[in-house]
Amino acid sequence: MLTFSQVPLPYAYAALEPHIDALTMEIHYSRHHAAYVKNVNDAIAEEKITFKNEADFFANVSKLSAKARNNGGGAWNHNFFWQVMRPGGGGKPTGKVADAINAAFGSFEKFQEQFNAAAMGRFGSGWAWLVNDNGTLKIGSTPNQDNPLMDVSELKGTPLLALDVWEHAYYLKYQNKRNEYVAAWWNVVNWDEVAKRLK
């Protein structure tokens, strides 16, 4: 049976300070993320979901319950989110990531502006994404815990970078100032991980 698991956090809770505070990281990882993993696995058992892997699960998510969809998305999205951040990250990407961004958006600055707009323009809870859609880079956002792998998502493609804009991701440090959180997050982006996912 398919089970979702929680990836080990690749750094200490305090490692992304001062941009993301240790208490937020601890609560986000050990409570919010852990709950999504538990709840999606409960839903898989309760509903006898038989998909072989996460890709099939998301490709058929429109047929599943809200519990399975929301918690499956929450489990996967957070596993992804922890890996596209790192201590001492940020700056401008180089190599193939820089080339792909420049080709798609004109410049890194224009890419950043569009990504920030996706993060700021998402009303309520959700995510901003950079995806590779059959060789074309696209920026967009999804509501709640939806992601671009889901058959219900307007934005489709292979995720390369994601930003969690749920209030629980930033409220302890930034309160209602999402713009300050988004600006700070650029200092922890793990461009090496983005490069690995850009095929």
| pLDDT at residue number 166 | 98
Q: Do 162 and 129 touch, CB atoms closer than 8 A? A: yes
- Per the domain annotation, does 69 fall within a domain? yes
| pLDDT at residue number 164 | 98
- Per the domain annotation, does 1 fall within a domain? no
- 1 has pLDDT over 90: no
Q: How many CA atoms lie within 13 A of 102 on its CB side?
A: 8
In tens, the pLDDT along 120-134 reads 999 999 999 999 999
- Per the domain annotation, does 13 fall within a domain? no
Rounded-to-integer distance, Cα 75 and Cα 149, Å: 13
- Per the domain annotation, does 3 fall within a domain? no
- Per the domain annotation, does 152 fall within a domain? yes
- 199 has pLDDT over 90: no
Residue 49 in 3-state DSSP? Answer: coil
Q: What CATH number corresponds to the domain at position 175?
A: 3.55.40.20
In tens, the pLDDT along 137-192 reads 999 999 999 999 999 999 999 999 999 999 999 999 999 999 999 999 999 999 99
DSSP codes of every residue in 131-164:
EEETTEEEEEEEETT--TTSTT-SS-SEEEEEEE
Rounded-to-integer distance, Cα 84 and Cα 78, Å: 10
- Count of domains observed in the chain: 1
**Which positions ≥6 away from 169 have C-beta within 8 Å?**
24, 28, 181
- Per the domain annotation, does 4 fall within a domain? no
Range of the domain at 199: 20-199
Mean pLDDT of 9-24: 98
| pLDDT at residue number 197 | 97
| pLDDT at residue number 189 | 98
- Per the domain annotation, does 190 fall within a domain? yes
- Per the domain annotation, does 154 fall within a domain? yes
In tens, the pLDDT along 74-103 reads 999 999 999 999 999 999 999 999 999 999
In tens, the pLDDT along 21-55 reads 999 999 999 999 999 999 999 999 999 999 999 99
